[in-house]
């Protein structure tokens, strides 16, 4: 069987969260020695083995916890004392999580949205554009991104967000932005930002609260007006302020 290390890049590129479990130390009688590797996926399925038995079952459970925290972890196992395994040796296992590229959903592929995608792709983001105007994708080179031509709100039915996803709302109309915000802000995301002036943002907030579409707590988590505040005028300058905020959030969260 092909070594799982060679398969790792392909699995990561698919966006499947996984943990690489590596035996870094083995003393005495152990089921596998240093260098033994196993991949654990979020559903508990595995590729490869570190020896089976209780130690492997424990490793799978720890790997799932590592996916929750997102932090590498190392644990020493005394096989007989800790796991009642008769071989009786000691093993140290290192757990490293991999999540693939971070997804950035950009609703609105107009002048600002496309500039955000262009810059963000260089900072570890996988770009997904959503715009109801199919013809707009002929106006720029979006070959590096996934381009969805669909109604903004209707597209949400087929998108499954995670708490590692980033969302930027830059549609061509305030009413689109507001409808989207009313739906997307209910999701657990790494980041959600909506473009707009202070006046537009204040009015949208007031309406969404009055209609009980969102709570104060949900709205407080939205970055609006979007981006790092500085005197930006052109679409490219506005995009830079947005991408700067994306980078800040990404690094603060340790992604």
Residue 2 has pLDDT above 70, yes or no: no
Instruction: Find out whether 14 and 34 touch, Cβ atoms under 8 Å.
Output: no
Residues 157 and 116 in one domain: yes
Q: What is the pLDDT of residue 9?
A: 86
| Pair 108, 220 in one domain | yes
What is the chain's Cα-based Rg? 23
Do 110 and 12 share a domain, yes or no? no
**pLDDT score recorded for residue 87:** 58
Handedness of CA 61, 67, 70, 72 (dihedral sign): positive
- Number of domains, the chain: 2
Lowest mean pLDDT among 22-31, 118-127, 133-142: 22-31
Residue after which a domain boundary falls, among 55, 83, 98 = 98
Residues 107 and 73 in one domain: no
Pair 198, 123 in one domain: yes
Q: Where among 48, 75, 98 does a domain terminate? A: 98
Alpha carbon 107 to its chain centroid, in Å, reads: 17
CATH code where residue 127 lies: 3.40.50.720
Cβ distance 73 to 95 under 8 Å? yes
117 and 235 share one domain: yes
- On whether both 44 and 8 belong to a single domain, the answer is yes
- pLDDT tens digit sequence for 129-186: 999 999 999 999 999 999 999 999 999 999 999 888 999 999 999 999 999 999 999 9
Q: What does DSSP say about strands 146-149 and 90-98: parallel, antiparallel, or unpaired?
A: unpaired
Q: Please answer whether residues 125 and 63 qualify as being in contact, where contact means their C-beta atoms are separated by less than 8 angstroms.
A: no
Burial of 145: CB neighbours in 10 Å, binned 0-12, 13-18, 19+: buried
Region 80-106: mean pLDDT is 80
Q: Do 110 and 94 fall into the same domain? A: no
Q: Which of 52, 71, 98 is the last residue of a domain?
A: 98
Which range is most confident: 53-67, 70-84, 130-144?
Answer: 130-144
Q: How far apart are CA 83 and CA 98, in angstroms?
A: 27
**In this prediction, what percent of the chain has a pLDDT beyond 70?**
95
pLDDT at 115 over 80: yes
Looking at the structure, do residues 125 and 243 belong to the same domain, yes or no?
yes
Q: Are residues 72 and 137 in the same domain?
A: no
Give me the domain span that covers residue 174: 102-252
């Amino acid at each position: 069987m092909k070594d799982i290390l060679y398969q790792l890049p392909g699995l990561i590129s698919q966006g499947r969260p996984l943990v690489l479990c590596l035996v870094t130390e083995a003393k005495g009688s152990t089921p596998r020695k240093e260098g033994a590797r196993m991949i654990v996926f979020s559903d508990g399925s595995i590729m490869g083995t570190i020896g089976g038995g209780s130690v492997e079952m424990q490793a799978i459970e720890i790997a799932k916890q590592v996916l929750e925290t997102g932090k590498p972890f190392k644990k020493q196992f005394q096989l007989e004392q800790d796991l009642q395994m008769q071989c009786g040796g000691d093993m140290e296992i290192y757990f490293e999580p991999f999540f693939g590229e971070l997804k950035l959903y950009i609703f609105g592929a107009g002048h600002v949205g496309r500039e955000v995608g262009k810059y963000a792709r260089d900072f570890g983001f996988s770009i997904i554009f959503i715009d109801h105007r199919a013809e707009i994708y002929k106006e720029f080179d979006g070959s590096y991104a996934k381009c969805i031509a669909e109604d903004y709100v209707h597209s949400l039915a087929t998108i499954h967000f995670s708490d590692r996803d980033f969302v930027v709302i830059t549609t061509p109309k305030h009413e689109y932005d507001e409808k989207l915000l009313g739906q997307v802000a209910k999701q657990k995301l790494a980041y959600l930002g909506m473009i707009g002036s202070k006046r537009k943002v204040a009015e949208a907030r007031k309406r969404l609260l009055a209609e009980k579409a969102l709570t104060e707590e949900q709205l407080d988590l939205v970055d609006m007006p979007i981006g790092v505040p500085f005197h930006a005028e052109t679409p490219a300058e506005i995009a830079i302020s947005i991408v700067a905020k994306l980078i800040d959030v990404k690094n603060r969260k340790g992604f």
